[in-house]
Chain A
Amino acid sequence: MNRISFFIMLLFSSTVFAQEKYTISGTISDAETGETMIGATVIIKELPGTGTVCNAYGYYSITLPRDQYTVVIGYIGYEQISKKVELYENKMLDFKLKTDSKTLEEIIIRTEMKNENIVSEEIGVEKINLKEIEKIPVLFGERDVIKILTLTPGVKTTGEGSGGMFVRGGNNSQNLVLLDEAIVYNTSHLFGFFSTFNSDAIKDLKLYKGTAPAEYGGRISSVLDIKMNEGNNQKYHVGGSIGLISSKLNVEGPIVKDKGSFLITGRRTYADLFLKLSPDENINKNQLYFYDLNAKANYKINDKNRVFLSGYSGRDVMSFQDRFSLDWGNVTGTIRWNHIWNSKLFSNTSLIYSDYDYTVAITRDDDDSFSLNSIIKNWNLKHEFQYFLNNKNTLTFGFNSQFNTITPGQLKVSENSDINPIELQDNFALENGLYFSNNWKPNKHWKINYGVRLSSFNLLGPGDFYSYSNGEVTDTTSYNKGEIGQTYVILEPRLNVAYILNESTSFKVSYTRNTQNLHLIQNSNSSTPTDIWIASSKNVKPEISDQISFGYFKNFKNDEYQFSGEIYYRWMQNQLDLKNGAEIRANEQIEGELLFGSGRAYGLEFMLKKKYGRFNGWASYTLSRTERQIEGINEGNWYPARQDATHDISLVGIYDLNKKWSISATWVYNTGNAVTFPSGKYEIANNVEFYYTERNGYRMPAYHRLDLGATKYLKKTDKFESSLTFSLYNTYGRKNAYTIDFEEDQNDPTRTVAVKTYLFTYIPSITYSFKF
């Protein structure tokens, strides 16, 4: 290792030996809970423009010439700490920050790094601190981080119950969603009405809209990196909430005070308990619920070593009158080891497991039933170094190796079934990534993150791999265990550059290439739990996206108001769609049902944010277009993707009235999704059928909605805290279209009418939360 770091030192710095320099490093955490603080800032008062930000484990390292300094530590919502340091040797300094008790006052003490949005090279990034969004109004009292992300520019939902998010024109399945580094394959509960992330378990999240640095890979549209809370290492706490359709409970506390902590959170909906109240046998025999369980523990072995263990399990269960059942869920597990080699070299090693599975079962008679089961799982080993070379260069390098197993479908049947059992062969694929990036600050005007990721993909035997022509199998090749059926190697350059004009203005530019070798096969852009994942193969090429973006960032009034404007253009290659009438269930030759093409997306995004003070919130506007061109669809012409929305506006406001009450409101507006409506009709087989001309040539009606929320703090002492949250979803009762169907007019059978189904007008909810 030393030899490598010496070599890297030579490569990246010629000044390192010229001066006597020492390093200050350490961990920053919350004084009350012991949670490490991702993104806390470390500033050197005497050297304006010199500073650093804590990494994902709250670790920082900064190297300076021998001198006397004042180190200032800051984090939003916390009191800042200043400490005089005489730097004549390497120092390890851990800091503990206290919650800012002055939050409600008009002016709060400013830390100099409140302009981090300006001086960071990051572009196309949304960071959400769970504390900031606590008061936003929500549906059924369920705070949903994915729904909140869709209020930011460039992030879209296709309406209630469609699940997930669409980032800069990409599909839902092209988002890399990581929970403590583990992939979460399906982020939706109950057909997309809720997300799998229990906000009580989440500490921090960051969304890269196609501009992620080299350590991330595997999906082409975005990276959503979610970190779970670690648990309080000072005191035991129990918290929870009781809402209309779900309840949550969490327990946290020290394993050994100051050294380790644990956190367990659970959530379960009880909509099905209402079903049980029904006297109707057909309703009370149905099941419909989901649960989530998050657990995390960490232990600091000594100053140099810390281990983490985290896991998640969530499942949806539903069944209809004992005749049909469907259940699906994700499981993830992560073991991590942080090691501080020396004051400049930090490493993290993770072993990660995650899976997603679903089972559909249909029972007709006692002896005639079948079930279909499908699983995707992976083991991932990740080893990453951060080398804080000097105050101009921070290097990140490492590798990850991920072994994927896909069980596309096992059809099990009872003895007398009229269906033949089918066991599709498992698919095995190995994805490797080798990456390097440098965060380089040549001077106070420039900040550059450049890097490269080498992604390789191997499709492995055993198995029969098919070649197709016009959807029919033309050739079959068999591979034995361990043999490589197909290999793709792609180099992915990543570059983010910031030109910092002054402390309140910067310009940024970025270019990123991303690739994806696991593809979700779905019938449309709405995801269902039974969508199927397939790996790249001889026929299915890796999806590739190239994105360029430019941004202008400007802060006003001492960083109180933050403005950003970004434009982007994204090219997408090897996009997939399905043939009309495709058979995707238990189909060995599913690749024959696919169509291939390309995509493009471009847009303009504005955001004005007020981050500090009694009133805060943001306004965001997106003007965008996203299109696909698939051979075999729309006569091969470009057409808008379903999630294409020309205009998208979100307004979010939170106001702290006094110490007892805070109120909030959100308003959203977007152009309706692109849809295919008939342009004519005809009669066939005694039915009136519809004639379609263009793919997605029409628009759903525009979607808009106002939500209001209020939080009342009932009690706030050191021993016990409680609050009531009220929400009114869709306050003015807009009848937003959920579906539009075309049917025979009941009054005049010779006519056809359009019928709109809408879901919610005014949904009030109330949630009681407590913590002791």
Chain B
Amino acid sequence: MDQISYIRFLSSLFVIIIMASCTEIIDIDLNSSETQIVVEGNVFSNSEPSVIRISKSANFDESNNFPKVQDAIVELSDNLGNSEILVETSPGVYSTNTLTGIQGGDYYLMVQVEGQALSSSSQLPFQVAFDSLIVTETSGSGGPGGPDNSSNYEIRVEYTDPADEKNYYRFVEFINGENKSKYAFDDRLNDGLEVNRTLLYFDRNLEIGDTLQVEMQCIDKAVYEYFNSFGNSHGVGPSDSATPANPITNIEGAELGYFSAHTSEIKQVIIR
């Protein structure tokens, strides 16, 4: 449900219109933390190679060029007995040659890196068709805090949720190839229905000529919980919905990252 976003949005509307708020950059002395291994693993259903990225966390005041983890031993296997040691194709990026995902398959990840052993598993769900991607122009500005362009677009996705089973979805939005935002949905409230969902994103800046791509993924429960628990991880304040925390990872032995076997279907619209 999007109502939390709406409530936060309304409270910020109130704050901005009525109370006239301002922002400024401040110095905060943040602690340093022990470097963490970050694993991002994706197994695709469309015969693309599976890719596991391994990197490290950095302290807050350090650069966003995060250190890559090289020379790890990464093994991927499935419930049919196939297994493969992945090859490091570029620093910190490990890919399969033969093993690809199929719908309904179970996938197991084993990583040995710097004396640590990490593992995870994920089930690749059956595909639910991405029926359509709808972009409509809404009149007026996006909203307070959003870009001040004269027009705003509402983006909706349509799919038909299969009845009587638990389904989890993730949508990834790209504008001109750049990843903009992520959404995770379940079917708790719309099991078995034709779903028409707005991708709510108040800071979206879409202009004529832009290419909008939306990828629909069917994911398993643990991956849904990972993305759903991302919640609000960027700041704190009275209008925020929850105390920030690390998302619930499905990787054993690590605090950060996820391993997702998922379907993938992309739709594209050029804004006119």
Instruction: Convert B18-60 into 0s and 1s, putting 1 for each residue whose CB lies closer than 8 angstroms to a CB of A.
Output: 1111111111101111011010100000000000000111111
Q: Are B238 and A162 in contact (CB under 8 A)?
A: yes
CB nearest neighbor in B for A746: B25
Chain A residues whose CB sits within 8 angstroms of the CB of B79 once the complex forms: none
CB nearest neighbor in A for B62: A681
Q: List 18 A-B contacts (CB under 8 A).
A: A161-B15, A245-B18, A282-B139, A362-B6, A418-B197, A528-B7, A530-B7, A583-B188, A586-B189, A676-B245, A677-B28, A679-B31, A680-B59, A681-B60, A683-B64, A684-B40, A685-B172, A742-B60
Q: Are A691 and B64 in contact (CB under 8 A)?
A: no
CB nearest neighbor in A for B179: A686
Q: Are A676 and B196 in contact (CB under 8 A)?
A: no
CB nearest neighbor in A for B8: A528
Residues A420 and B191 in contact in the complex (CB < 8 Å), given A682-B58, A754-B26: yes
CB nearest neighbor in B for A416: B194
Q: Are B244 and A690 in contact (CB under 8 A)?
A: yes
Contact of B237 among A683, A696, A757 (CB under 8 A): A757
Which chain A residues (660-691) contact chain B, with CB distance < 8 Å? 675-691
Q: In the bound complex, how far is the Cα of B57 from the Cα of A688, in angstroms?
A: 10
Q: Are A362 and B247 in contact (CB under 8 A)?
A: no
Which chain A residues (168-193) contact chain B, with CB distance < 8 Å? 190-193
Given contacts A364-B196, A753-B25, 4 further A-B contacts (CB under 8 A): A680-B57, A681-B57, A684-B38, A750-B63
Chain B residues whose CB sits within 8 angstroms of the CB of A695 once the complex forms: 243, 245
Chain A residues whose CB sits within 8 angstroms of the CB of B6 once the complex forms: 320, 324, 326, 360, 362
Q: In the bound complex, how far is the Cα of B233 from the Cα of A417, in angstroms?
A: 31
Chain A residues whose CB sits within 8 angstroms of the CB of B229 once the complex forms: 580-581
Chain A residues whose CB sits within 8 angstroms of the CB of B64 once the complex forms: 681, 683, 688, 744, 749-752
Q: In the bound complex, how far is the Cα of B255 from the Cα of A372, in angstroms?
A: 36
Residues A759 and B21 in contact in the complex (CB < 8 Å), given A585-B3, A679-B60: yes
Say yes or no: is A288 at the interface (Cβ < 8 Å to chain B): yes
CB nearest neighbor in A for B197: A418
Q: Are A678 and B190 in contact (CB under 8 A)?
A: no
Q: Are A757 and B23 in contact (CB under 8 A)?
A: yes
Say yes or no: is A740 at the interface (Cβ < 8 Å to chain B): yes
Instruction: Convert B182-199 into 0s and 1s, putting 1 for each residue whose CB lies closer than 8 angstroms to a CB of A.
Output: 100000111111111110
CB distance from B160 to the nearest CB of A (A): 9
| A-side interface size class | 35 or more
Q: Are A684 and B257 in contact (CB under 8 A)?
A: yes
CB distance from A124 to the nearest CB of B (A): 27
Say yes or no: is A489 at the interface (Cβ < 8 Å to chain B): no
Between B7, B140, B235, the greatest number of chain A beta carbons within 10 A of the residue's beta carbon is seen for B235
CB distance from B175 to the nearest CB of A (A): 12
Say yes or no: is B272 at the interface (Cβ < 8 Å to chain A): no
CB distance from A694 to the nearest CB of B (A): 8
Q: In the bound complex, how far is the Cα of B27 from the Cα of A756, in angstroms?
A: 9
Say yes or no: is A480 at the interface (Cβ < 8 Å to chain B): no
Q: In the bound complex, how far is the Cα of B240 from the Cα of A306, in angstroms?
A: 48
Say yes or no: is B246 at the interface (Cβ < 8 Å to chain A): yes
Q: In the bound complex, how far is the Cα of B25 from the Cα of A757, in angstroms?
A: 9
Which chain B residues (151-207) contact chain A, with CB distance < 8 Å? 172, 178-179, 182, 188-198
Say yes or no: is B117 at the interface (Cβ < 8 Å to chain A): no
Say yes or no: is B211 at the interface (Cβ < 8 Å to chain A): no
Q: Are B228 and A581 in contact (CB under 8 A)?
A: yes
Say yes or no: is A341 at the interface (Cβ < 8 Å to chain B): no
CB distance from A575 to the nearest CB of B (A): 14
CB distance from A281 to the nearest CB of B (A): 6
Say yes or no: is A652 at the interface (Cβ < 8 Å to chain B): no
Q: In the bound complex, how far is the Cα of B23 from the Cα of A284, in angstroms?
A: 25
When A and B form their complex, which 5 residue pairs have the shortest distance between CB atoms, in order from nearest? A739-B237, A581-B229, A741-B235, A282-B140, A682-B57
Say yes or no: is A271 at the interface (Cβ < 8 Å to chain B): yes
Chain A residues whose CB sits within 8 angstroms of the CB of B27 once the complex forms: 754
Q: In the bound complex, how far is the Cα of B149 from the Cα of A358, in angstroms?
A: 34
Chain A residues whose CB sits within 8 angstroms of the CB of B23 once the complex forms: 755-758
Chain B residues whose CB sits within 8 angstroms of the CB of A755 once the complex forms: 23-26, 235
Q: In the bound complex, how far is the Cα of B247 from the Cα of A262, in angstroms?
A: 57
CB distance from B138 to the nearest CB of A (A): 9
Chain B residues whose CB sits within 8 angstroms of the CB of A88 once the complex forms: none
Say yes or no: is A91 at the interface (Cβ < 8 Å to chain B): no
Q: Are A580 and B19 in contact (CB under 8 A)?
A: no
Q: Are B32 and A679 in contact (CB under 8 A)?
A: yes
Say yes or no: is B270 at the interface (Cβ < 8 Å to chain A): no
CB distance from A158 to the nearest CB of B (A): 7
Instruction: Convert A737-772 into 0s and 1s, putting 1 for each residue whose CB lies closer than 8 angstroms to a CB of B.
Output: 111111110000111111111111100000000000
